[in-house]
Structure 1
């Protein structure tokens, strides 16, 4: 086994068998430079295909669902996939620890292949919906492994840049995807999934192939199973590691921490479904189904933490991770960034359209300042970490930038604020958020031994999705409650005949028909509601920054962790 260095990380040893979170995970790989290039091309192209299809689907969803006479199903189509992504991340991380990275990517290919068959042929809404769900499961498995592979292969000092490079498609897809979706809708809406599916499946299977080759090459280079080492190594890589003796169901269930996975998965599903779909129930947050899901989900997550701390033989989340101040700080700050941003700026589009009287395209481009800035911020942070070997100051500076942007957003005056000011604040928030997330992710990895990297990276992604979903719920609750109350409070002499408040809240196109006096009242109510949302986001962000202040310094240039074994031969 490899020795620990002074940073608590493990040195590179290609012959080391690494036990991740206590399970029997064998991560032997030997790479050629060509195979590494093909692997990262595959990861990049799958990220491109997924982002392109996601944004085209977002643009074309009303038209696609209308083709099935099922526009009512939009709320489920937009909410359930994000719930699946968040809930299944820990499960796939544990699966990859037990059965290997290649096996998990193979599972991804199986689900996404079935998904695209359904999406390409779906005769009705529920078949289409099933395809979307299978696709969410498959892409979740792939991207869990994608993050882990970067940690498995790339030296720590270069990981921030590598993570950021995979975000490059997001810089231009926000402009390209709506146009491409409108063109494909005129031909056949199934091509929206056809183009993405062709790219995704091609590079998904290429990724499986190069992973299997790297594993088989290790067995060959190290003379394991000779003279049939290469062939048997390929088979092992596809089927997952084995101790030589078939495991019983009870043993496998124990090593996968089945009870822990069930508790965290269903607890997460219940809470996120309640937060996403509360508006579908009469009574909203106070309805019995919503209250029941939140209480039951909360109890399951509490039970999960107790189980992991006291009873799990091979825990999904070793408690030593949460006792590590750097890991804890990184998890909280990443969750807080997404929760604060979604609370404060998720509803920025309607705010701009109403207060600035711009069309949907201009509002979209102003909001793009955040998303484009996020990718650029992550890229710059990666370069800075590679150059300086430091992550804390970048994380703290980024977090301060998010706080500043949210503070500036509080003073946005609608007609009294130029579009340039709105766009620059969005860009500042995005740049700062991207830098914070990337730096916190690298700091988290730098503080862990390699055996904990997989679950550490997955936990960060889990907090991102969980925090983001909570942010959307908090922002939605604020807008749905404060906007109507503010409109009613501003009615002249309380005269409800002056303005149809219900229609203002539910139909943004109705606002364009209002008289100047009515419009002024509505715009003032929008500005006030956005101010409350910005204050809520600012409070969330400030609270989330506190644990990050206790993260420990690690010299990224000196820290060592397992990296890929690279050979020149084929």
Structure 2
């Protein structure tokens, strides 16, 4: 991605000094090393922001009136939510190949996630406005309902199309809950402690790695994948509601104490509809979501068209998708009455660089992991429980190491050097090693070693990229910059899934037809489309050996693509400003 020029590029890094923030930059919400919000800035620095949107004012009022016990309780509730979500998401990942295989469409494993990733990412832009305009509790409740609806639909699906639609609702809700909680952490923690809190609250993934594999295995062997989704459809609301009620109770307390003064817009219903239509920038959202969907889907489904890449439908999708994305950029630049955030932030090199890194990390991750759990079962001959353990190494390693990264950031006050000299280079190294170790006959220990290296690097990258976008913005724009970063992540995931789907559908069936013995050629379609059929052939048989060779060839190019793309992330980090987070007072009230 080409980084736009900005006013920071030609300026040398300056030491942080305490000074009054110029009014123009205050309005823009831009926080820089030359322009920090310091503790001694003014006497009323802890007052509720008069020019902030209603949702920001509400959360600032909550942090002013709630007790220390309520602050602790909120983080306990969040930890429990993360635990349930981690367990559910790990289980869902392992069950997806069996859901698509149940309808003889194993090759669509990656495709089912493309639309959900795109819409899940773009929806964060709308959710950011809901959080800022209406309030944090309202956005949190909405995402919880959408996630529950998605789980119910997945439990009741009868074909891949319904499952893909359910994935959209689920991922909009899941990403929304995770995003809302990230905003809440930003609202209630000092910037120097934020990396540590983000790392601590992701620690449930360390425990769930040992749970999801056995759960998935028992579901497949027993009551089936439907009840796997159905159980979590019941548990999820029960775990989320306590945090919602804690939010709303303290918000009402702030109103009773007079800290938060209710607003009366005086608008009619029609005026409100018009107001929110422009406030949420609906036109831009439709153009972005439609553009990405049309542009990326052909990479996964082209092999199902009569003429492949030359098919008129494939060509039209790519052309119209690209035109819609161009139209979205033009609309946002020249015509949108209300923009999501100031142009200074959109062109800030730290924000842009962090967003590019976020997208790159998700692109490479989904390229090589889309069929990785299937590869572990077919090539390495692992059962579902063992596959779950290997697949979840990233979760346990990244979450453990993110706590260490948070401590280091709190101690040093800086985060750029961690990403530049450790996070991204080790990510490239670990994926590059898998180009060789993905070959049939490799000892499982080498795979585990690469996964551990990758996990530690990922923990560093994810924490630091989020700190980068938050450190560059004032509090009233934190939700928006996190939404933009989240959109880049989700779109990156969709691109990764699309590339994985294109490599798989374009290479795997060709190699399968080339390697399969004569007696198995008649079963080519069922072998290609069903993981269970692939596993039914015993290890050492000519057919299983042919399947393993085809997997190895397909995975090779997935790892090559992932390694190459990650280099872009290293360049993006070089553009970050070396911000010292110890010198900022970004949030107000009782915080960690």
Q: Tell whether the structures are fold-level matches, with TM greater than 0.5.
A: yes
Report the secondary structure of 2:392's partner residue. helix
Equivalent residue runs for 1:297-312 within 5 Å: 297-312=321-336
Measured in 2, the distance between the counterparts of 1:344 and 1:183 equals 26
Question: Measured at CA, do residues 85 and 453 of structure 1 come closer, stay the same or move farther in structure 2, by a change above 3 Å?
Answer: same
Compute the displacement of 1:94 (Å): 1.9
Asked if 1:316 is matched to 2:340, the reply is yes
- Tell me the secondary structure at the aligned position of residue 582 of structure 2: coil
1:79-129 per-position Cα deviation (integer Å, ceiling 9, x unaligned):
543343123111111222222212222333554566677778x59779888
* Aligned counterpart in structure 1 of residue 312 of structure 2, from 288, 292, 296: 288
Root-mean-square deviation (CA, aligned residues, Å) is 3.8
| Deviation per residue, 1:183-204 (Å, 9 max, x gap) | 4674686653454234321343
Aligned to 1:200: 236
Question: Aligned pair 1:540/2:565, yes or no?
Answer: yes
Q: 1:480 to 1:98 in 2, by over 3 A?
A: same
CA deviations on 1:299-351 (whole Å, 9 max, x unpaired) are 22221122112222321254322311111111111111121222234333444
The whole-number CA distance in structure 2 between the counterparts of 1:266 and 1:298 is 10
Aligned in 2, Cα 1:520/1:554: closer, same or farther, shift over 3 Å? same
Structure-2 change in CA distance of 1:452 and 1:482 (3 Å): same
Shift of the 423–559 alpha-carbon distance from structure 1 to 2, 3 Å rule, reads same
CA contact (8 A) 1:352 1:414 kept: no
Q: Distance in 2 between matches of 1:467 and 1:9?
A: 31
1:375 aligns with: 399
Residue 106 to residue 410, structure 1, CA distance change in 2 (3 Å): closer
Correspondence for 1:268:
292
Change (3 A) 1:535 1:254: same
Q: How does 1:202-217 map to 2 (within 5 A)?
A: 202-217=238-253
Q: Are the counterparts in 2 of residues 260 and 316 from structure 1 also a CA contact under 8 Å?
A: no
1:405 to 399, 421, 430: 430
Aligned partner (choices 279, 282, 300) of residue 258 of structure 1: 282
Answer with 537-546 or 198-207: which moved more.
198-207
Shift of 1:259: 1.9
Question: Is residue 163 from structure 1 mapped to residue 187 from structure 2 by the alignment?
Answer: no
Residue aligning to 2:52: 19
Correspondent of 2:442 among 409, 417, 421: 417
Q: Is the 8 A contact 1:154 1:563 kept in 2?
A: no
Contact 2:413 2:580 in 1 (8 A): yes
Alpha-carbon shift at residue 518 of structure 1 (Å): 7.1
TM-score by length of 2: 0.79
Question: Are 2:472 and 1:447 equivalent residues in the alignment?
Answer: yes
The Cα offsets for residues 160-192 of structure 1, whole Å up to 9 and x where unpaired, read as 122222322322324312423454674686653
Mapped contact 1:367–1:423 kept (Cα < 8 A): no
Aligned to 2:500: 475
**Match of 1:327?**
351
How far did 1:458 drift? 1.1
Distance 1:368 1:374 in 2: 10
> Match of 2:437, SS?
coil
State the number of aligned residues. Answer: 544
Q: Could you say which residue in structure 2 is the equivalent of 1:230?
A: none
1:431 is displaced (CA, Å) by 1.6
Query: In terms of mean alpha carbon deviation, does 85-94 or 103-112 score higher?
Result: 103-112
3-state DSSP of counterpart to 1:315: coil
Deviations 1:215-262 (A, max 9, x none): 23333444566xxxxxxxxxx5xxxx6545554432332222222222
TM-score, length-normalised on structure 1? 0.82
What does residue 95 of structure 1 align with? 130
What residue is the counterpart of 2:459 in the other structure? 434
Matches of 1:352 and 1:131 in 2, distance apart?
A: 26
- What is the CA distance between 1:392 and its match in structure 2? 0.5
Q: Find the counterpart in structure 2 of residue 232 from structure 1.
A: none
Task: Rate the CA distance shift 1:143–1:6 in 2: closer, same or farther, 3 A.
Answer: closer
Aligned partner of 1:365 in structure 2 is: 389
- Which digits, 9 at most, give the CA deviation of each residue in 1:405-443, with x for residues without a partner? 122122226356321111101111122122112111111
Structure 2: which 5+ residue stretches go unaligned?
1-19, 39-44
Specify the alignment match of 1:32 in structure 2.
67
2:133 counterpart of 1:108: no
> Counterparts of 2:77 and 2:313 in 1: how far apart (Å)?
43
Per-residue CA shift, 1:17-36, capped at 9, x if unaligned? Answer: 3536x999754323222222
